Structure 1
Amino acid sequence: MVQTMQAPISLSELESWLFEAANILRGPIDAADFKTYIFPLLFFKRICDVFDEEYQIALAEADGDIEEASYRENFRFYIPNNCHWQEVREHTENVGSAIAHAMRCIEKENSQTLSQIFGDVQWGNKERLPDRLLNNLIEHFSEKTLSNANVEPDMAGRAYEFLIKKFADESNKAAGEFYTPRNVIKLMMKILKPQEHESVYDPAVGTAGMLLEALNYAQSHSGNIHLLHLYGQEKNLTTSSIARMNLILHGREDFEIVRGDTLRNPAFVENDRLKTFDCVVANPPFSLKKWGEEVWEHDPYGRNFAGMPPSSYGDYAWVQHMISSMANPGGRMAIVLPQGALFRKGAEGKIRKTLLEMDFIEAVIGLGPNLFYGTTLAACIVIFRQQKDARLKERVIFIDASEQFKKGRNQNELLDAHVDQIYAWYEDGKDVEGAVKVATLDEIQEEGHNLNISLYVEPVIEEDPMTVEEGLSRVKAAAAACAEAEERLKRLLADEGVV
């Protein structure tokens, strides 16, 4: 358990070094699967290095008494014998099996906190993960010591978030399942304003980006982040494991991430009713098919209170689940939806009508195109509250933020300035020509309960200040240019013997 002393690692150095691990996998492993292998190994290395560091601290405090220093309570996560990173590193054959054995034993030893955290990777699949490849990965991660002294929890967490973003960039389309652009989340949190002593719940938690941004918001507003209670559910085992590792690497322990299908089998239930939360936030899968209609026909939690969503679009199943999970009276929620959910007719139109009549919908924010992985379409954020401010009762704020983005080669980006502008429009809650309209429920009813933003926010049409004389002059110039081009074409054709 003796650690090699190293100088603290800078964030940029750490990020660069971690991403180099992906280059070792590049070729035999698809970019969309990098996270499946890199994150468990990174987490394994981190907790072993911290274990060694904690042992040295305990040994010093025990005046060199090895038995006392080895007590379980001296360690955040206990590493059993023959399961340490350095012991796995000694294997040159059947490396995958050694990794799998160590990870399973660590999970069992720390069952209250690390159960199933390493996911379900088939480390022993030598065709996919030959010994040479795994040895190269292990040697790469062995180059640096990831102790708290070298890498503080916040820095480890930020580097982890960097990797999530980089892997999302690499895999692009597949990343939509687990990654939401961070400035979209920042906007949602500025609106929801999570406070200490409150609870935050994400029913489609992905890699926990929403929950971490809730912590960032609370911390930046002088809140005690350890008094913010975090909950999430995620269907995908690998993604839910990454979420838990992400929160742990950010130094959090008091959270609850559960693997499971939220719409079919919600994890957070009290006394046969859904548990409720102060802030509910999510970017669920867009227009999910086969989302669980068969369960909702007789849903024991009454989540179809506004109507049954169509089998081919699960958007309003998520909406109704989240509304049902909002605390009363102070509950509020923000959800990312495809803009089609604002105006599709049929069952969804009836649900919108009911939600409007119940006065839950506070704001509809239309975002720019190509901000999200996996789709070039523009999405929207819809804000709901159990009890709206008096000035917004029976009113909805419509914000057209479709021009608020920085154009990118592969993907557009929402910058801090765009977040600030959109939030200012929302907070002000007043009409702005070409950007904001505060519509009454009567006005929305006249539009058939259609929430399409373009029905309420009209674009600004700039008039050309040109005089009649200038207009005639431009027409004459254009006609002359056209005649000249026609003559030139005739000469070219004549030269070629065509005419």
Structure 2
Amino acid sequence: MTQQQLEKYLWGAATQLRGTIDAGDYKQYIFPLMFFKRICDVYDEEFEKALEEGDGDLEYAAFSEHHHFLVPEGAHWNNVRETTTNVGIAIQDAMRNIEKANPETLYGIFGDASWTNKNRLSDETLTNLIEHYSQHKLNLENVPDDQLGNAYEYLIKEFADDSGHTAAEFYTNRTVVKLMTMIMDPQPGESVYDPTCGSGGLLLNCALHLRDEGKEYRTLKLYGQEINLITSAIARMNMFMHGIEEFSIVRGDTLANPAFLQNDELKTFNVILANPPYSIKAWDQKAFANDRFGRNLWGTPPPSCADYAFEQHIEKSMDAVNGRCVQLWPHGILFRDNEKKMRKKMIETDTVDCVIALGKNLFYNSSMESALLIRRTNKEKRKVGKVLFINAFEEVKDEKTISYLLDKHIDKIFKAYTDYQDIDGFAKVVDIENIMKKDGSLLVTNYVKSSRILDNNTLSVEEAYSNWNQSSKKLNNSMKNLFKTLD
């Protein structure tokens, strides 16, 4: 199959579910079923190869050393395909038995989809799904890792398109991911971490970036944590589908229970990339105020917004020698008044390397404008005491509800970042003391004129909000003076 034919074939399974379940729920059924088929087809391929090597010895061909994953007796795709009643139970049992047979690598990877609920998925619907996938072999000879991995990423994007506002929980715009990866420049043997990894796109792209450069990507150590069960399972499957096996993706709440520890402290990493959930309200602020890992080093964020809890977690997770991080945030984190003290302390550490203001609609299914916050534990000498601001509002390709970066946009932004010097109307290097004079604001348009200011003096939302904050302070002061006079 060509790449396009493969994608059409795989997406065809999702069309079988239309009208039976919500589009946002497709992924919890389609991905596990596809992975189940891949495991069984590769197992058969490996078995035939071992059988040939062992002169037809069936026992020899079944040895575990000949297989990536074990498929126990009765848990094969063909066993499920032969089932005509209670198909959901057969699928669920087969998946659980495969997980048990491969506890170190596959435990929990098939998620917790409700396969046995016949009100959602009848035997007929499941049989049709099984038969659809049975049309082609998904072994390595027919579908190499690269091809299947690309198709898997295609499906993730399709599911994101169908998932509405929840898409941002598991999918980050891949053109932005490419820019983030180029800026971080991961190297062979380094550790890469995403504390809110979603479907694993940021981690995966680091490995693929090295591979495309002709460097050894298999020595890259990938770590991720994701709170959602099915999303963390999708991330793990994503790695395997791309032929990457050296990784650790753990399900859990990064703020409440960070997964990666070393000597009772947070493990540190060379590279951290993240698109954290923004302005979440369901988090334990009280526990963070007395955090046993010392992550509240700049202060405790307000109860209605955990953004700086994630940023401080990342600060504590960076390698002391060459740690570097890039986060995709809405613009509010750059200037909000109720986080000013924490932001100033962050700036005072001189870890802020660069702030890049991006255009609108780069968050998936959200019109909010985004920004990249880039920090390093050890800056180059030429960057010490300085921050680079890049105004890339116009470097975007708009397409209705979703935008993306073209290669020319990525190249222009990346060049400005690597050059680290003033570019009229686009980039500005600013001393930290001048940032503090602006009350610790990291809003890019404070330092690089926005090309979006129109002739009629229409302001951006961020600028209008900042002005409103300032005018509110002046009003409060004048009211206080008035009351004193009246008294």
TM-score with structure 2 setting the length: 0.92
> Which residue identity lines up with residue 298 of structure 2 in the other structure?
A
Separation in 1, partners of 2:451, 2:357: 16
Contact 1:398 1:436 in 2 (8 A): yes
1:357 equivalent in structure 2: 348
* 1:217 paired residue among 209, 220, 224: 209
Amino acid in the other structure paired with 2:428: K
Task: After TM superposition, list the pairs within 5 Å mapping 1:249-268 onto structure 2.
Answer: 249-268=241-260
Task: Give the conservation status (yes or no) of the 8 Å contact 1:287–1:338.
Answer: no
Per the TM alignment, residue 414 of structure 1 is displaced from its structure 2 partner at its CA by: 1.6
Structure 2 matches for 1:158-197, cutoff 5 A? 158-197=150-189
Structure 2 partner of 1:415 = 406
- Cα 1:230–1:45 change in 2 (3 A) is same
- Look up the SS of the partner of 1:425 in the other structure: helix
**Per the alignment, do residues 379 and 462 of structure 1 end up closer, same or farther by CA in structure 2, a change over 3 Å counting?**
closer
Q: 2:283: which partner in 1?
A: 291
Task: Provide the C-alpha distance between the structure 2 equivalents of 1:220 and 1:252, rounded to a whole number of angstroms.
Answer: 14
1:32–1:446: structure 2 CA closer, same or farther, 3 Å change rule?
same
CA displacement 1:385-405 (0-9 Å, x = unmatched): 001111111111111111111
- CA shift, 1:421, in A, is 1.0
**What displacement does 1:410 show?**
2.3
CA contact 2:108–2:233 (8 Å) conserved in 1: yes
Give CA deviations for 1:308-356 in whole Å, capped at 9, x if unaligned: 111111111111101110001100000011101101012x100110011
Tell me the distance in 2 between the aligned counterparts of 1:252 and 1:19.
23
Quick one: which of 233, 255, 258 aligns to 2:225?
233
Asked if residue 244 in structure 1 is aligned to residue 236 in structure 2, the reply is yes
What are structure 1's unaligned runs of at least 5 residues? 1-8, 465-499
Per the alignment, residue 325 of structure 1 pairs with 317
d(CA) in 2 for partners of 1:220 and 1:77?
27
Of the structure 1 ranges 29-38 and 141-150, higher mean CA displacement relative to structure 2 is found in 29-38
Q: Does 1:300 align with 2:300?
A: no
Partners of 1:237 and 1:160 in 2: CA distance: 18
Consecutive unaligned residues in structure 2, runs of 5 or more: 456-487
Q: 2:447 aligns with which of 438, 449, 456?
A: 456
8 Å Cα contact 1:433-1:460 kept in structure 2: no
- Deviation sequence 1:101-141 (CA, Å, 0-9, x none): 00000000100100000000110000001101101100000
Fraction of identical pairs, as percent: 49
Partner of residue 11 from structure 2, selected from 13, 19, 25: 19
Q: What's the offset of the Cα at 1:433?
A: 1.7
Residue 370 of structure 1 deviates from its aligned partner by 0.9
Q: What letter matches 1:426 in structure 2?
A: Y
Cα gap change, 1:461 to 1:77, in 2 (>3 Å)? closer
Q: Which amino acid counterpart does residue 28 of structure 1 have in structure 2?
A: T
Question: In terms of Rg, which structure is larger?
Answer: 1
3-state SS, counterpart of residue 218 of structure 2: helix
Deviation of the 1:359 alpha carbon: 0.4
The aligned residue for residue 275 of structure 1 is 267
CA offset digits 1:198-252 (Å, max 9, x no partner): 0000000101100111012212233211110000000000000000000001111
Q: Give the CA RMSD over aligned residues.
A: 1.4
| One of 268, 287, 304 as aligned partner of 1:312 | 304
2:119 counterpart (98, 115, 127): 127
Matched, 1:433 2:429: no
CA contact (8 A) 2:85 2:123 kept: yes
Q: State the alpha-carbon separation in 2 of the partners of residues 50 and 220 from structure 1.
A: 25
- Relative distance call for 1:21 and 1:462 in structure 2 (3 A) is closer
- Counterpart residue type for residue 204 of structure 2: L
Which AA in structure 2 matches 1:308?
T
Q: Secondary structure at the match of 1:80?
A: coil
Q: 1:377 aligns with which of 365, 368, 381?
A: 368
**Inter-partner Cα distance in structure 2 for 1:314 and 1:378:** 19
Question: What is aligned with 1:147?
Answer: 139
Q: Aligned to 1:225, what secondary structure does the other structure show? A: coil
CA contact (8 A) 2:279 2:305 kept: yes
Report the residue type matching 1:39 in the other structure. F
Moved over 3 A (4+): 459-464
Contact residue 367 and residue 401 of structure 2 kept, 8 A: no
Aligned mates of 1:208, 1:87 — CA distance in 2: 31
Distance 1:462 1:285, change over 3 A: closer
Q: Is the 8 A contact 2:324 2:375 kept in 1?
A: yes
TM-score (norm 1): 0.90
